[in-house]
Chain A
């Protein structure tokens, strides 16, 4: 589903050059749940961004569902992200000025769909994460766990094949964290390919495969 070949990512500022990713080769088959671990600053998030087409690698090739995307235009990349990939972030990134339902609908706004079908899909997604009773609330009225569940609903509303989660439980206590992980495992069971960055060994152990990064290199 995702194939990375000889990925290198260099950050340049006027004074220093940092190698964030160094010769990463990685293949995640369809339906796999992979967790990525490593100390702070090892390049986990960068790796996830490259997989999510949010960041171009300095070198190497990214293949999504058999498509080599290095020559894709901004528009094509945007469409690919919209249809194939769902994102979950540590700090949720909900738009505070929109209601829960409106937040969940956002990915559908970037494809052709009718208002009613959007509404229905968003409700369905919220039901899946157990928040159908909070649709009219605003993010500021929700707890952290609830916010993250909204974010998950938003990630799955467009029925993407891939879900990328960047420390989805990082801002949550262990009970809520476990809850979120269970939802992700459930989604995996239903066929989603998931890559999750985490600090939590226990959680990582529940996934199919564990990838460790150190200083931009894959160590296991």
Chain B
């Protein structure tokens, strides 16, 4: 029977061309949508690796002030640590988590080169962000005087640099100032939940020498804006003419995540409408085709097809058409993983492919069922009636 239907479809290929084109494009649209959603979903399942609740980022912009900046920064962080409302504070650069600023550098180990985010911090960074140290340790006072500059990597960076080898004690780069790995932490997704795992490296800045430009502060739960206002006033008095910009990590995370979710949402809405449009169109076309084929239906019934047999035939024809459309679509779709367009993992593409396949079949089946069951209801006697 399948062969028979294939012949029927093949012989009508010109008339079916548009339906196939429609299914082909719909399939590709679904493939795109699912790739995007699955990619975001897969990323989202990976935890951030740090805590953002009750955490503030304070940018220390000295403006036109140029005198004794390092001293003032240390005074400021000292003052912040002295408040009972503050649990911990750490000096860092302006590339605080979820901020718009990034800083990166190429790292090299035995010929393997990666580009990694670099965060200059002090001793208290893991305390402020609740970072879990998997291997080794965070920086300690003795690191300030060691010959190698200590570096802490996240898991992703360690994996890309050393593979399965133990990262602890490995020396990165060469020249006058190489880094030595002293610790490894878990995830560190500073760009938000929807981004993939990226390498991150933490370096120690000596608070007495390094001009830090930001401060991360973890406050006790329930701290009010009244405290915040008081703190900002105190700090403002200490750093005359400075721009002190305070933001909540929780808010920044929200707007960072929106960069991923809003386009996906808009895309999904447009796709939804497109597919609804296609579904209605297919439904209409099938309805019209079945009217056109009343003769054939009557004849098949006369020759021994049962009513369910007719329904099955029409649904099967649609499935075969869909198979053709999808097969052509696959040729386009597989180019994405093969040519590494958009740089998504192959697993995402594969899953998206299957989901798109399942949805397109669900879609055409739903569209075909009603017209096909209408076809089965056609009375052979009336369909074959001679005028």
Contacts and interface: CB of A to CB of B under 8 A. Distances in A.
B385 interface: yes
Contacts of A107: 303-304
Tell me what chain B mostly uses at the interface: helix, strand, loop, or mixed.
helix
B308 interface: yes
Contacts of A90: 386
B384 A98 contact: no
Contact of A83 (B295, B304, B307, B309): B304
B385 A74 contact: no
B304 A78 contact: yes
Interface in A15-69: 45-46, 49, 52, 54-55
Interface string A164-183: 00110010000000000000
B302 A87 contact: yes
Interface string A94-130: 0101110010011101110001000000000000000
Contact of A54 (B4, B8, B12, B381): B381
B1 to A, nearest CB: 6
A136 interface: no
B384 to A, nearest CB: 6
Interface residues of B, number: 27
A128 B307 CA distance: 31
Contacts of A105: 4
A93 interface: yes
A159 to B, nearest CB: 13
B386 A89 contact: yes
Contact of A75 (B7, B302, B308, B384): B308
A93 B8 contact: no
A78 B8 contact: no
B14 to A, nearest CB: 11
Nearest to A197: B386
Given A91-B386, A109-B1, A97 B12 contact: yes
Contacts of A115: 3
Contacts, number: 85
B234 interface: no
A192 B300 CA distance: 22
Nearest to A48: B381
Contacts of B49: none
A75 B386 CA distance: 25
Give the one of A52, A79, A89, A170 with max B CB within 10 A: A89
A82 interface: yes
A55 B308 CA distance: 17
Give the one of B1, B295, B302, B307 with max A CB within 10 A: B302
A110 B295 contact: no
B305 A110 contact: yes
Contacts of A134: none
A98 B8 contact: yes
B386 A45 contact: yes
Interface in B1-24: 1, 3-4, 7-8, 11-12
Interface string B301-315: 111111111000000
Give the one of B298, B308, B379, B386 with max A CB within 10 A: B386
Contacts of B296: 93, 95
B324 interface: no
20 contacts: A49-B381, A54-B379, A55-B380, A74-B307, A75-B308, A79-B306, A81-B301, A82-B303, A91-B386, A93-B295, A93-B296, A93-B298, A93-B299, A95-B8, A95-B296, A97-B11, A99-B7, A106-B4, A109-B1, A110-B304
Interface of B: 1, 3-4, 7-8, 11-12, 295-296, 298-309, 379-381, 384-386
